[in-house]
Homo-oligomer: A and B are copies of this chain.
């Protein structure tokens, strides 16, 4: 008999979303983890998401298929666009058009079905790649959409989108996660990890992660290819 409120947590298999899940659990939510199979090149993400969900004993982990690879336009879904090894000027080619809008929409749909009013997403606007859909103002605009565009919202159940990491540096995130028992060895952040989850060490995501462990003074459990 659970009387905990339910929450939907978007988990990618990476460091940020694993920490977000840990925070939601600490805050007393019954956690429903949601991942997307969107044709990402780094397929091991989904394995890592499964490892993470399992390690936290979530109520349910669901993987939704969404054919973003059919839309193209991103180095993360289109194998003809190389993953950059240098931080690019402006918004990089690893940006997936409207990704967080799409993911939040699906999380919202599931939340409505299971009767959750809380959604968690591990966006951060500190040590990040400059994606527009990681910013607080975007999240608040989406919250408005959630409340206007659903039966639950119209009937008075106000959705809240939690972004517990948005103002934290990568080092702060790691320190929080360690305190909450996150096993970062299970997580995969690399945009071009191999099937075993070994990281390239050179993409944006690897560099932010490596630097984060260094600044946090925590041993980096990441397995690198080289």
Question: In the complex, which residues of chain B have a beta carbon less than 8 angstroms from the beta carbon of A155?
Answer: 91
Taking CB atoms and an 8 Å cut-off, the chain A residues in 21-60 that contact chain B are none
Question: In the complex, which residues of chain B have a beta carbon less than 8 angstroms from the beta carbon of A73?
Answer: 109, 112-113
User: Which of A100, A109, A112 has the most chain B CB atoms closer than 10 A to its own CB?
Assistant: A109
The answer to whether B109 and A99 touch across the interface, beta carbons within 8 angstroms, is yes
Question: In the complex, which residues of chain B have a beta carbon less than 8 angstroms from the beta carbon of A178?
Answer: none
A1 at the interface (CB under 8 A from B): no
Interface size on A, residues (CB 8 A): 44
Question: In the complex, which residues of chain B have a beta carbon less than 8 angstroms from the beta carbon of A113?
Answer: 71-73, 97
Q: Tell me the minimal C-beta distance from A33 to chain B in angstroms.
A: 14
Q: How many copies does the complex hold?
A: 2
The answer to whether B64 and A67 touch across the interface, beta carbons within 8 angstroms, is yes
CA distance A150 to B142 in the complex (A): 12
From A130-138, A163-171, A202-210, give the one contacting chain B: A130-138
The answer to whether A132 and B153 touch across the interface, beta carbons within 8 angstroms, is yes
Chain A residues with CB under 8 Å of chain B are 62, 64-68, 70-73, 91, 95-102, 104-106, 108-110, 112-113, 132-133, 135, 137-138, 141-142, 144-146, 148-151, 153-155
Given contacts A99-B109, A135-B148, 19 further A-B contacts (CB under 8 A): A62-B70, A62-B71, A64-B67, A64-B68, A65-B70, A66-B66, A71-B109, A71-B113, A73-B112, A97-B110, A100-B149, A101-B146, A102-B109, A104-B105, A132-B148, A132-B153, A138-B149, A141-B145, A144-B144
